[in-house]
Structure 1
């Protein structure tokens, strides 16, 4: 990527100030990675006698922090072992995604549009940092983002609005001049609670469900006309 696209500040707590911003969840929003998470959990769960079918995955895994996932699904394993189990599962996930990820249609065009107009860009995710760094690198889009906000590194993750409020603070942008992109209920509720206009990607759930959880509009990808209408209204 050309130098003009490179981040001016790489530290996670340091970023330039902007007047407008786009904030993106990671899994299911920048890339349709949930099938690989499900694949990893199915394989991992077998070793612990846990059957994670699709309904279970959607209810207890998609968009959730690992601490809550393992509390709900691996309660028969000692709580102090949950971080180790989470690390093992995420390492399996990272092995499974090698060479298999691609950006959601239209994403790179939107990121280029934002860079050309000096719109602040953030990743706001409940995913572990190694996953986010690895996935952004595999997708070839790491250099676009000015900051990465992770729920696991804050006092509260999604569905609490704190991760999105932190993203706004780091970019220096007011909520009414930002748009959030999400695909799962915890993130949709977090963005809505932060009073950010929210786009629900239907990569994981249907249109009705994402709207019920706080999305202002639902789109299949970043080429949808309705998305660009919202962008025009909120950030111009």
Structure 2
């Protein structure tokens, strides 16, 4: 399974976090908002990630924690799993409405 990171975080910080967690090797591509020159309120970052992965849309799943990003990805036709984030707790109800599943841990995913 190919995986890609599409993040609003700067590349050096994302790379450092993935390396520190020992999971960098699992991601074939990292795309940042600054590199695609748009935030996650625009579907371009998700479309570019989709192109890099080369998988069918029905087999592509986006994991997101921010409501605005979830709204963008679902409006663009992507399958989205909501991921718990304490800073987005006030948006949980709306996130659950928009996503096919809401998880607290990736081990909870029923994909």
TM-score normalised per structure 2: 0.86
Name the count of aligned residue pairs: 108
* Residue 155 (structure 1) shift: 3.4
- Rounded to whole Å, the distance in 2 between the matches of 1:141 and 1:150 is 17
8 A contact 1:164–1:190 mirrored in 2: no
Corresponding residue for residue 99 of structure 2:
215
Tell me the secondary structure at the aligned position of residue 223 of structure 1.
helix
Check whether the contact 1:182–1:200 (CA below 8 A) recurs between aligned residues.
Answer: yes
User: Does residue 1:151 correspond to 2:33, yes or no?
Assistant: yes
**Residues in 1 aligned to 2:76 and 2:55: alpha-carbon distance in whole angstroms:** 12
SS of 2:38's equivalent?
A: coil
Coordinate RMSD, CA, aligned: 1.5
Counterpart-to-counterpart distance in 1, 2:85 and 2:37:
28
Shift in Å, 1:157 = 2.1
1:134-145 maps to which residues of 2 (within 5 A)? 134-145=16-27
Question: Aligned residue for 1:173?
Answer: 55
4+ long deviations beyond 6 Å: none
Q: Work out the CA distance in 1 between the residues paired with 2:101 and 2:71.
A: 14
Structure number with greater Rg is 1
Range that drifts further, 202-211 or 184-193: 202-211
Cα deviation for residue 135 of structure 1 reads: 0.6
Q: For 1:168 and 1:191, locate their aligned partners in 2 and report how far apart those are by CA, in whole Å.
A: 11
Consecutive unaligned residues in structure 1, runs of 5 or more: 1-118, 232-236
Q: CA deviation at 1:174?
A: 2.6
In structure 1, what is the equivalent of residue 64 of structure 2? Answer: 182
Alpha-carbon offset, residue 222 of structure 1: 1.6
